[in-house]
Structure 1
Amino acid sequence: MSNYKPIDAKREEFRKYLEHAGVMDALTKVLVSLYEETEKPEDALEYVRKHLGGITESSSNTDALRKELDESQAQVTELKAKLAKFETEAGNE
């Protein structure tokens, strides 16, 4: 007899969910790229994190979005200061 254990229904459902969502494919691609690296990185987990995130976004896109976020936050801060100034002036009248 073999040591085959049937996969329970919850596991199988979860596996199908991961396949449908593209998670299995993304993980496979990252792991294959790590396998094909000629010089293996010291921190394999960091490699996976870096390259898994890179599947959905390009780093230039991320940089542009961060710059836009910083500019927007600076504008919000400036507008809050102006609003506080106007509220102070309106309260003195």
Structure 2
Amino acid sequence: MTSNYRPNESKREEFRRYLEKGGVVDAITRALVALYEEAEKPNNATEFVRRFMGASGPDSAEVESLKNELMIMREKTDELLRENEILKDKLQKYENGQ
């Protein structure tokens, strides 16, 4: 068992050095310290860390709002398609009647 443990430990150490060299450890530490120092803790800690680290993109509330808007627009589209079919049928009947 010891022989399996050493290579994993070596890989972990190599990965740790890689993260330190790339500044990842410092960036995460700064984000966590900023979160710790927040007077009013945010509801979504992950979102706070993402934004602190400069991640762009919509936050979860924005995504939820967009999902709701999409659902409403799909319903409206379906409604308009049904109305369009009804009007086509009426037009067809009118044109055939003349």
How does the TM-score come out when normalised to structure 1?
A: 0.50
* Greater C-alpha Rg: 2
